[in-house]
Amino acid sequence: MAADPSQRARRILAVIVATFVANLAVALGKIVIGMFTGLLSLTASGFESLLDSANNIFGYGSQIFVTAVRRLQGTYAPQVNAWAYGAIIASLLVSTLVTICEYRFGKAYRSEFLRADAGHTLCDALSGLLVLAAIVLVGRGWVWADLAAAIVVVIIILVTGYRLMRQSFDVLTDTARLNPNAVASACLRVEGIEGVHKVRSRGTSDSVKVDLHIQVDRKMNIEQAHLLAHQAKHEIRKDFPAVDDVVVHIEPFRRGKSKPKSAPQQPEQK
């Protein structure tokens, strides 16, 4: 006798989850060992295995969609038990703890990445509260609450995924990380720097590289100009803690022929 739709859906989901866990375990194992041994091929293979896990996630998502359609048709209803409460409460505790740790370490190490990831984890905790509320409502007979919460969580996943893809795209396309006018203003606080231009910045949110040109008196000796370049680096890092590398090019400044100190520049930052 063929299994009913609800049993069939559960079995399919169980296989997908088991496959996902297996692929994830293999991927993490290869990545960790590859990093410790220095074997780039093994590490790369681990990341390739993560793609298999991604395929499982997409497969699981499609099954959620099919299940949602059947739920609307009234085919079957979810079950609420101690396991459901335990899973979501444990998730809330872990997410809250991770959020606090990431934020504190991000603040201590001046890491924008850790602080941003703490924000993503906080969103996960908030969605967990939504799911907990849905479970409570389902337990009281309001079956629609589960579907409504699932839709909201899926929207959160899509928005978060879009933001992560946008950040990755910005890094790959070398998008400017800092406003060039703000960087120039920091340099111009140094007495002796007459002009700043060709300001470029790139990298990630917590590891920014800056390249710029400063103009100094053409009669200044190399040692003095070199000192001004170091002071400019100090001012930039003071205003932008995420900057970990600054390259300063020195040019002669001729009064009456060069551009003004704060020549208007088009912001490169998106």
| Runs of H (alpha helix) within the chain | 5-37, 40-72, 82-108, 112-139, 144-172, 180-187, 222-239
Taking a C-beta distance cutoff of 8 angstroms, is the pair 62, 12 a contact?
no
Whether 264 is covered by a domain: the verdict is no
- Same domain, yes or no, for 67 and 111? no
What pLDDT was estimated at residue 5?
54
Provide the number of structural domains found in the chain: 3
Measured at the CA of 67, the angle between CA 62 and CA 69, to 5 degrees, comes to 100
Summarised one tens digit per residue, pLDDT across range 40-57 is 666 666 666 666 666 556
- Same domain, yes or no, for 109 and 151? yes
What pLDDT was estimated at residue 259?
47
- Same domain, yes or no, for 54 and 85? no
Residues, the chain, total?
Answer: 270
pTM exceeds 0.75: no
Domain ranges, residue 5? 1-76
Summarised one tens digit per residue, pLDDT across range 217-251 is 988 898 999 999 999 999 999 999 888 889 999 99
For residue 40, how many C-alpha atoms fall within 13 Å in the half-sphere facing its CB? 0
Summarised one tens digit per residue, pLDDT across range 74-132 is 655 677 888 888 888 888 888 888 888 888 887 777 666 677 777 777 877 888 888 88
- C-alpha 165, offset from chain centre: 9
- Same domain, yes or no, for 199 and 129? no
Whether 263 is covered by a domain: the verdict is no
Whether 153 is covered by a domain: the verdict is yes
- Same domain, yes or no, for 69 and 89? no
